[in-house]
Structure 1
Amino acid sequence: MTRIESTFARLQAEGRKAFVSYIMAGDPDVDTSLAVMKGLPGAGVDVIELGLPFTDPMADGETIQLAGQRALEGGMTLDRTLQMVRDFRKVDNETPIVMMGYYNPIYARGVDTFLAQANEAGIDGLIIVDLPPEEDEELCIPAQAAGLNFIRLATPTTDDKRLPKVLQNTSGFVYYVSITGITGAAAAQAADVAPEVARIKAKTDLPVIVGFGIRTPETSRSIASVADGCVVGSAIVSEIAAGKPVEDILSFVASLAAGAHSA
């Protein structure tokens, strides 16, 4: 079992929902980013999504785009992102890490080389938002063969005809995008999410985790109550962008995690 799979198995056995947090690697700088990352498990985070900065993040809203720009301007690269994971693993060998980003930097590195480096660094899964299921041979299949989970996104526009294709090679968990559009947009509504989560769960045994549009502990709780957990990204990145101390950022994360865990 991967760290992702064992974490969700444990949470299910405990009857608890998962809280997943996203941060951008290197935002606003490597030291601050790593300090936040190291503090996330203690704040109640079950799975860490680590953004890989990219110059053309088409699925991201302004908050995440700006975070990526700050990271890139600070000199963040794929190699430095992998080193950040290695540094995290020196103090935490249990918390799953999912790298989230775009295919171009991986393609440029070479898939086999990247997967070997990701495995060695301690990455457990990938979310690559610009690789559709039709391109599974590019990265998804090799990643799974290398022991990494490949997590796919389902959206409100993923209809019953498309859903089996999305699910066919997905592992670890399914990430359901609660709203149409980009990250950091409208607020998620549990009443809208619940039937969609049920529809996906009828087709897979994988946990379904809901992200996009979650900014408060109350929303975190309401969304987690109708899914297997929730993801918060833009709200946390906004706290980082505001220049708040690491302790304050982690306190905010803890409030969101407590919301999800109380569901």
Structure 2
Amino acid sequence: MSAVAAAIDAAHAQGRGALIGYLPIGYPDLETSIEAAVTLAEAGVDILELGPPYSDPVMDGPVIQEATNAALEAGFRMRDTFTAVREVTARTDIPALVMTYWNPVVQYGVSRYADDLRAAGGAGLITPDITPDAAADWLAESARTGLDRVFLAAPSSTDDRLAMIVRETTGFVYTVSTMGITGERAQLDAAARALVARLREHGAERACVGIGVSNADHVRSVLEYADGAIVGTALVRALRDGGLDGLAAAARELVAGTVRG
């Protein structure tokens, strides 16, 4: 079993759902972004989702775009991804996934990227802008290296596409709660619940819901029907406004929402 799947199952054994926390690498600088990821782990987050900044972030909302733009302006380079993953995984016991758009992986070289990520201790990739039918190279390289490949499922996905996503995904299916960019929502779209049910019908063992999950009540709601909740914008905002202490407080509050009744 993958480290990501094992982390989700371990949370379940403790009577909780899993919490997956996203932070951009290099924000506000590389060293602080590493400390921030460690802070999430120490606060009780189950899985880290670390995002290399990208110049054309089609899914990112304004808070994350602001942070990634700042990281790029501060001089982020692709090699910093592996530096961050290596240092974070040396100091924590939880899996670290990299959330990356696909073009940087292709530019770096899919095989080389997989080797360097594995060497750094990374658990795998979340790839929001590529589907399994267009990812033959990544399917092969992830199988070779044992890295998880996390694909996204959206409410608009057809049953055939959902079946393919479930078949090819490892770790968990990233279940998009709403159509659109990341960010906080006053209420989560009911489509997320229906989408998880559809994924279960296609055999998904682990489905985690992201996009719009921003507080402990959202986490509790998601974990009524999903295996994990994914939080990004709220954590980036907490880091921006309150530094590492503010981030730790926000993470602890979210973790409190993972306990099932």
State the TM-score, normalized to the length of structure 1.
Answer: 0.93
What CA distance in whole angstroms lies between the structure 1 residues aligned with 2:235 and 2:127? 21
Which residue number corresponds to residue 136 of structure 1?
135
Q: Secondary structure at the match of 1:139?
A: helix
Which residue number corresponds to residue 77 of structure 2?
77
State the Cα distance separating 1:187 from its structure 2 match. 3.9
Ranges in structure 2 where 5+ consecutive residues have no aligned partner: none
**Which amino acid letter does the alignment assign opposite residue 103 of structure 1?**
W
State the Cα distance separating 1:193 from its structure 2 match. 2.6
Asked if structure 1 preserves the Cα contact closer than 8 Å seen for 2:184 and 2:213, the reply is no
**Which amino acid letter does the alignment assign opposite residue 26 of structure 2?**
G
For the pair 1:221 / 2:208, whether they are aligned, the reply is no
What CA distance in whole angstroms lies between the structure 2 residues aligned with 1:223 and 1:2? 23
**Which amino acid letter does the alignment assign opposite residue 47 of structure 1?**
I
Which residue number corresponds to residue 256 of structure 1?
254
Asked if structure 2 preserves the Cα contact closer than 8 Å seen for 1:18 and 1:261, the reply is no
**Which amino acid letter does the alignment assign opposite residue 253 of structure 1?**
A
State the Cα distance separating 1:133 from its structure 2 match. 2.0
State the Cα distance separating 1:186 from its structure 2 match. 3.4
When residues 74 and 262 of structure 1 are mapped into structure 2, their CA distance, relative to the original with a 3 A threshold, is: farther
When structure 1 is superposed on structure 2, of 193-202 and 43-52 the one drifting more is 193-202
What CA distance in whole angstroms lies between the structure 2 residues aligned with 1:30 and 1:209? 28
Which residue number corresponds to residue 230 of structure 2?
231
Please list, as runs of the form range in 1=range in 2, the aligned pairs for 1:138-157 lying within 5 A after superposition.
138-157=137-156
- 1:175-210 Cα distance to aligned partner (Å, 9 max, x none): 101001111153443744323212211212421100
What CA distance in whole angstroms lies between the structure 2 residues aligned with 1:75 and 1:140? 31
What CA distance in whole angstroms lies between the structure 1 residues aligned with 2:72 and 2:36? 18
State the TM-score, normalized to the length of structure 2.
Answer: 0.94
Asked if structure 2 preserves the Cα contact closer than 8 Å seen for 1:187 and 1:214, the reply is no
Asked if structure 2 preserves the Cα contact closer than 8 Å seen for 1:172 and 1:206, the reply is no
Asked if structure 2 preserves the Cα contact closer than 8 Å seen for 1:190 and 1:222, the reply is no
Asked if structure 2 preserves the Cα contact closer than 8 Å seen for 1:171 and 1:206, the reply is no
Asked if structure 1 preserves the Cα contact closer than 8 Å seen for 2:176 and 2:192, the reply is no
When residues 47 and 53 of structure 1 are mapped into structure 2, their CA distance, relative to the original with a 3 A threshold, is: same
- RMSD of aligned alpha carbons: 1.6
- 1:144-185 Cα distance to aligned partner (Å, 9 max, x none): 321001001111111323211222211100110100111115
Ranges in structure 1 where 5+ consecutive residues have no aligned partner: none
Percent of matched pairs sharing the same residue: 33
State the Cα distance separating 1:101 from its structure 2 match. 1.2
Asked if structure 2 preserves the Cα contact closer than 8 Å seen for 1:175 and 1:210, the reply is yes
Which residue number corresponds to residue 61 of structure 1?
61
Equivalent residues, number: 261
Which residue number corresponds to residue 104 of structure 1?
103
When structure 1 is superposed on structure 2, of 210-219 and 189-198 the one drifting more is 189-198
Asked if structure 2 preserves the Cα contact closer than 8 Å seen for 1:18 and 1:230, the reply is yes
- 1:90-115 Cα distance to aligned partner (Å, 9 max, x none): 222x2011100111221111111111
Asked if structure 1 preserves the Cα contact closer than 8 Å seen for 2:89 and 2:96, the reply is no
Q: Secondary structure at the match of 2:97?
A: strand
For the pair 1:247 / 2:245, whether they are aligned, the reply is yes
